[in-house]
Amino acid sequence: MFTRESPSTGPNSPRVVGFYEKASGSVQYVAIDDATKKAALIDVVLDFDPAHGRTRTDSAAEILDFVKAEGLTVEWILDTHPHADHMMASAWLKEQTGAPAAIGEKVRDIAKLWEGIYHTPGAFDPDRDFDRLFADGDSFTLGNLSVKVMLSPGHTLGSITYVIGDAAFVHDTFMHVDSGTSRADFPGGSSAELYDSLIAILSLPDETRLFIGHDYPPVGDREDPAWEATVADHRANNTHVGGGTSKAEYCKLRDDRDATLDLPDRMLFALQVNLRGGRLPPAEADGNSYFKIPANSF
């Protein structure tokens, strides 16, 4: 797996290691407080083969191998939103580490929305399947580091950003500087809300390192995945919002672009797993789990 490390910049700054999962273009993170050897695992992938309906834990296991080799203790398992591009490995990671799994509190509203789409009333219970549901403005600690939670809707109605010192994990808001921003056309999404979230993130200090959720190289002359840039870089050079793009201009650009995009091939599988905290649907009488896929809904 392609990896890259972003060193700590001082005593209140985490060391961040990113792991790129090529099949879904996802970036998974280990945020580390080196003073205490405590770590948070952020947006880790449960591997999925849509053609065969098969899950694996290879990517998550590789990250736990890294954690062990570094002598780290996992203090948090964090997700930024119920992903459409990949399944979350949170439930498996909790089994392996005993660490609590967390996500934003508005996952309750996302769960109600998708219960209607799947026609599965009562199927999802975030209060059961996550240990902590964060609200906008909440704070907690990672080792000696303070973590703040920002509500960042638009891609989904309940996406959250984790700000750890000078590192912000901004998920599916920004893409890399040369790729712009993430889509806003999934159920509950909004380009207008996404613009507001982008501007709020750009209000963080210039030197804040923004760590994004996805990259899909090659882009221009760049062959390798990239996932880190500063607030100052994005504010000046982001291809969608850099240089002071207005909200009206952005919404037209984003909505026009989204109208050309297909759904991710994992989306209709992934949401019914991620809204269970990374668990497959309950096994039926034959011992197997089954996905329910709505026909002709999208």
Residue spans per domain, the chain: 2-262
pLDDT given for residue 220 in this prediction:
84
In tens, the pLDDT along 8-54 reads 999 999 999 999 999 999 999 999 999 999 999 999 999 999 999 99
In tens, the pLDDT along 205-249 reads 999 999 999 999 988 889 999 999 999 999 999 999 999 999 999
Cα–Cα distance measured from residue 29 to residue 23, given in angstroms and rounded to the nearest whole number = 16
> Which CATH entry fits the domain spanning 2-262: 3.40.50.1820, 3.60.15.10, 3.20.20.190, 3.40.50.720?
3.60.15.10
Q: Which residues contact 135 (CB under 8 A, 6 or more apart)?
A: 104, 105, 149, 151
Alpha helices, H only, 5-69: 58-69
Question: Average pLDDT in the 134-154 region?
Answer: 98
Tokens of 127: 């209060």
Least Cα distance to 10 among 47, 36, 35 occurs for 35
Cα–Cα distance measured from residue 170 to residue 144, given in angstroms and rounded to the nearest whole number = 21
DSSP state of 229: E
In tens, the pLDDT along 148-158 reads 999 999 999 99
Cβ-contact 182, 218 below 8 angstroms: no
Least Cα distance to 24 among 44, 41, 39, 9 occurs for 44
